[in-house]
Amino acid sequence: MCGIIGYVGEKSAPSILLDGLRRLEYRGYDSSGMAVLHDGVLEVRKCAGRIENLRKLVASSKIEGNTGISHTRWATHGEPTDSNAHPHFDQSGKLALVHNGVIENYQELRTELIELDHTFKSDTDSEVLAQLIGRYYAEEENSTSLAARLTDAIKKALSRVTGTYGIAIAHADIPGLIMGARLGSPLVLGLGENEHFLASDVSAMITHTREAIYLNDGDLVTIRKNAFEISALSGGKADYEISEVELAEDAAEIGDYPHYMLKEIHEQPQALRDAMRGRLSKEDATAMLGGLQMTSRELREVDRIILTGCGTASHAAMVGEYLLESLARIPTEVEISSEFRYRNIPTDKNTLQFVISQSGETLDSLAALREGKRKGCRVLGIVNGIASTIARESDGGVYMHAGIEIGVAATKTFTSQVTILTLLSLLLGRIRHLSTTDGLELIAELEKIPEKIRTILDGADRIKEVAQRFSATESMLFMGRQFNYPIALEAALKMKEISYIQASGHASGELKHGVIALVSKETPSVFIAPDDAVYEKNVSNIEEVKARKGPIIGITTEGKTGLERICDEVLYIPSAPPPLTPLLSIVPLQLLSYYIAAERGCDVDKPRNLAKSVTVE
């Protein structure tokens, strides 16, 4: 979950590293630091807190050099302190390392090194790796060069490690060189003219390069300003492919918005258009998803679908379950990725698994993908991260094309995931039983969704007023039925993530089965009750909360004014067929959570204890 950026070239490394860290801060912001090689000395600057703290530190105590590694941290082992910030050093002080991942057997290795008179300066698992590599480097005397000596030390140390890592290493004895390796944690090599980059995310270097190599697990990379080499940790050369970076330079800029989250909420109409672009065929009344790499005959043979994801992606998967079963009539189940990897779920040759992940690097989802493949399933991905690990390891899939998402709380990627799952349901439905008329009607309604979201965004001031009214609350309930039950879960997650309000999502029908005990004058209930087959059932549940004097916010379809009689506040969404209402109902709830968090003075884009890309278990 941490961010890494390394640079070798002719330019000033500190400024490039600071810019890269700024773009990576969504991956972790507990502490940050850098080590820059200059005149045979590794100069280090690191501190707890945001990257702005590091910038000030670097400005006040100048640091120079053309080779350096840097890191922004999301704490796993050890508190967010100056001493626990990366980079970490070996016993000699000449080897610096930054690390993303978890070394599971670090205590065992630490004890061994302490017995060999190593002194530790931090509580992290990462320092153990730096010390171990440094020890083997000191012991390696038969190598033909210092670079070969460091290579051998890295291989020997990593062979003893249990866990995950994406690392970058610099050594004072070897100017103009950085080495890196990955296992379960992303690492990208950026190619430039007389300069090279190493980063955990391509966004860190989009202002400097348009060519990148996405490293695979087990890769070891060496970069100099005018050369690079990729080999396998197990020995021999490694296969790689040079990819063109598709991100626009200003994609990660905030523009005129106060927060990235608000910007990304407002980007949803375009994100959904991009998700649908070129994928709807009115001639055949279906969706076209060539990335699945499956024929219509193969898709027709699918008799069971498993959707896996974490957090927001799991909620999108739940919407997908309703979509696939209602439109395609295929039995579908949702599995949280972290549970799936440890369960013995029965599958057969006609089971199709989808792994849903914004980044395409989510460790639990990657493990779920690999578990599905071990069981012989065809596993497809729905990801936003181009050339991400999940995209490369899956048997096919669909890119979301939502653009970069900086805000930790997912917004546009959620609606993009639901859109892709809608297209998938349309495709599978048309292969089975949906008529041409049904397909055309769904396409027509789906194409209207982006503009309908725009009308909701145009009414944001009204949502802001409601948020101000309820911003002081400390607990909230969210309830919905059918397609909008997952939306209740997602809305509660958004509220928890950025406002720190204790929020919970529930199926409205479960109100009487325990949830109603939480209803009080101090606990607002949000009901998602669009004009659908269960509208009256939702109204009955609202009446039950009203009878117990619980404040109520209703989300319903324009024209259904009946809720104004029993709700304290009502927010309206445009009319849409029930399968498409989740794409609309989530938008006012995203805005509600945003405005409540902003009113409470919370750091919306960088909520406490969270990071955007979860690459540790």
Kindly state the greatest CA–CA separation across the chain.
84
Q: Which residue, 77, 64, 99, is CA-closest to 169?
A: 99
410 contact partners, CB below 8 Å, separation of at least 6 = 311, 312, 313, 358
Is 46 marked active-site?
no
User: Regarding beta strands 332-336 and 31-38, do their DSSP bridges make them parallel or antiparallel, or are they unpaired?
Assistant: unpaired
CA atoms within 13 A on the CB side of 370: 13
Q: Indicate if the alpha-carbon torsion angle 434, 435, 436, 437 is positive or negative.
A: negative
Q: Contact at 8 Å (CB) between 524 and 553?
A: yes
Q: How far is CA 74 from CA 3, 80, 84, 99, 371, in A?
A: 8, 8, 11, 11, 27
What the block records as the tokens of 547 is: 């009878």
401 Rama sector, left if φ>0, alpha if ψ -120 to 50, beta otherwise? left
Which residue among 155, 225, 606, 612 is the active-site one?
612
Q: State how far the Cα of 203 lies from the Cα of 72, in Å rounded to an integer.
A: 14
Phi-psi region of 29 (alpha: psi -120 to 50; beta: other; left: phi over 0): alpha
What HEC string does 160-203 produce? CCCECEEEEEEECCCCCCEEEEEEECCCEEEEECCEEEEECCHH
Q: Which residues pair with 224 in a beta bridge?
A: 227
In the set 2, 310, 377, 567, the catalytic residue is: 2
Cβ atoms of 9 and 228 within 8 Å: the answer is: no
Nearest to 106 by CA among 47, 157, 143: 157
Residue (of 274, 217, 228, 220) closest to 392 by Cα position: 217
Are 66 and 175 in contact by the 8 Å Cβ rule? The answer is no
320-333 burial by CB neighbour count: b if 16+ within 10 A, else e? bbbbbeebbebebe
Query: Cis ω on the peptide bond leading into residue 87 (within 30° of 0)?
Result: yes
375 catalytically annotated: no
Rounded CA-CA distance 382/400 in Å is 7
Give the separation between CA 185 and CA 616, rounded to whole angstroms. 8
Would you state the structure tokens that stand for residue 330, as one six-digit string? 């295929």
DSSP secondary-structure letter at 103? B
CB contact set of 351 (below 8 Å; sequence gap of 6+): 302, 303, 304, 305, 306, 377
Q: Hey, which residues are catalytic here?
A: 2, 612
